[in-house]
Structure 1
């Protein structure tokens, strides 16, 4: 049985069990395992695991299941792990930890660290990066927040030079980014509600490339603007759309702009009081990409 068949068999088995009237009790622990990939080659997907602890119990009996953590507006601490094995030649692993502390007056501060390691076999290339970030925000009502963030990352990538055993081309990329964003959930009288989010981000890149007989440096900036809306038709089901535009200043090709947008839908299937199955589909429309991105997962709350 291949990886795709095994994944589908596990989730079909879980969701085919008898589903009874579940109780939406409060929770403080949330753990989730997800498999995600493209329909073009679903076997070359990634396994993702995450856990989050909320300092005070989170209520989920009236809000959309996917938004209960955000709407709780409480301090939390979490960790994530992801592993991608593509076509048996590329191994990509990331892990991250993050936390958010919410003050009594609804100001909050968040911190995050992420490490990523990428390797292409047989020993032709490898890359490692470390990223750090901090967020300062304010919950200005029961369903909305505004925030600013700042982040730095360091990445080193080595490529084996063609037809050489010992020589490598090394690229060092240092990135500094800061932005401002807003996230707001608008309840609707006719149903659940709509989640709006927007973010403006500015990044600057410092690049150093070295090889056996060369060394050069350059810097490039970029500005990115994104906006998304997700309509929660029920507490379990949502449909949404996202638009993003990026402005680049390239030292060689001059200024450029890239627009992208996609549509998506997500569903949470409650199985027991503490267990749910999660499904997500998204389609990138611009730039046009073949296939549909899909994710299936199991979520536990207790």
Structure 2
């Protein structure tokens, strides 16, 4: 049995639990584990695990399952770990922590940190990203926010054959933006989720070798938007679009669908499919996982 078949067998096997009339009880703990990859090479994918704690119980008896945490508008703290699982000589892991504190008047503040480590036959790279957010829930289903982030990335070769091969690049990036996220309930169905973000980023890059040093700077403006129609509490279809105002690259866009299959009171299976049309990427990106709430 190859790795592709084994991955599907393990995750799909978990969904074979006898399904009964589940109770949508409130929860404060949420944990996920999923596997995501392209259909063109499903054995070369990423394992993701995350956990989140909500300071007050989160209701899930009337809202879409995927949105109950956002619609709860309560303080929370969480962490995530990801690992690339590929057949060739490469190693990529990330871990992150984040949190959000919501005040009684619905203003909130948030912070996050992420470390990414990439190592293959040719080079190795490590980056650290820090971010803060200030936002406001202006009604029961919507928020607006501003954010600020800073990251630094260092890349150097894995193997060197001479002193002239010793080089290192360092890139420092700063970004800030303003965003909105809003869920619109519909009388004919569950509702539509809108999200948008306008951001500005600037970066300073430096390349160093034993005989030379180079520096450069760049800045850009970006706009991203997404819409998801929740046809039922479990099933949604959506589309994404993004543009960089100072770039000649074609604007990326795609479509997606997601489904949550309730298995027991505390366990669900989650499925996601997405197709990227620009840039034109072969195949379909898929994710399958297990979600626990208690």
Q: Does 1:65 align with 2:65?
A: yes
Counterparts of 2:159 and 2:58, CA distance in 1 = 53
1:115 alignment partner in structure 2? 115
1:110-163 CA distance string (max 9 Å, x none): 000000100013xx3100110000000000000000000000001000025775
1:291 alignment partner in structure 2? 283
Q: Does 1:218 align with 2:210?
A: no
1:3 alignment partner in structure 2? 3
1:199-254 CA distance string (max 9 Å, x none): 00100010001112110100000111011100000000000000100134xxxxxx
Check conservation: 1:245, 1:260, Cα contact below 8 A.
yes
The two structures, once aligned, show a CA RMSD in angstroms of: 1.4
Check conservation: 2:163, 2:210, Cα contact below 8 A.
no
Moved more, 165-174 or 191-200: 165-174
In the alignment of these two chains, the number of paired residues is 294
2:242 alignment partner in structure 1? 244
1:157-208 CA distance string (max 9 Å, x none): 0025775478322110000000000000000001100000000010001000
2:193 alignment partner in structure 1? 195
Residue in structure 2 matching 1:259, options 251, 274, 277: 251
Check conservation: 1:161, 1:169, Cα contact below 8 A.
no
Counterparts of 1:166 and 1:216, CA distance in 2 = 15
Check conservation: 1:160, 1:166, Cα contact below 8 A.
no
- What secondary structure does 2:248 align onto? strand
Check conservation: 2:124, 2:158, Cα contact below 8 A.
no
2:270 alignment partner in structure 1? 278
Moved over 6 A (4+): none
Moved more, 141-150 or 154-163: 154-163
Check conservation: 2:123, 2:159, Cα contact below 8 A.
no
Residue in structure 2 matching 1:133, options 124, 131, 134: 131
Moved more, 138-147 or 7-16: 7-16
- What TM-score do the two structures reach when normalised by structure 1? 0.94
Counterparts of 1:162 and 1:283, CA distance in 2 = 40
- What TM-score do the two structures reach when normalised by structure 2? 0.97
Counterparts of 1:85 and 1:216, CA distance in 2 = 35
Counterparts of 1:28 and 1:160, CA distance in 2 = 44
Residue in structure 1 matching 2:225, options 224, 227, 234: 227
Check conservation: 1:82, 1:95, Cα contact below 8 A.
yes
1:26-69 CA distance string (max 9 Å, x none): 00000000100001111110000000000000000000000000
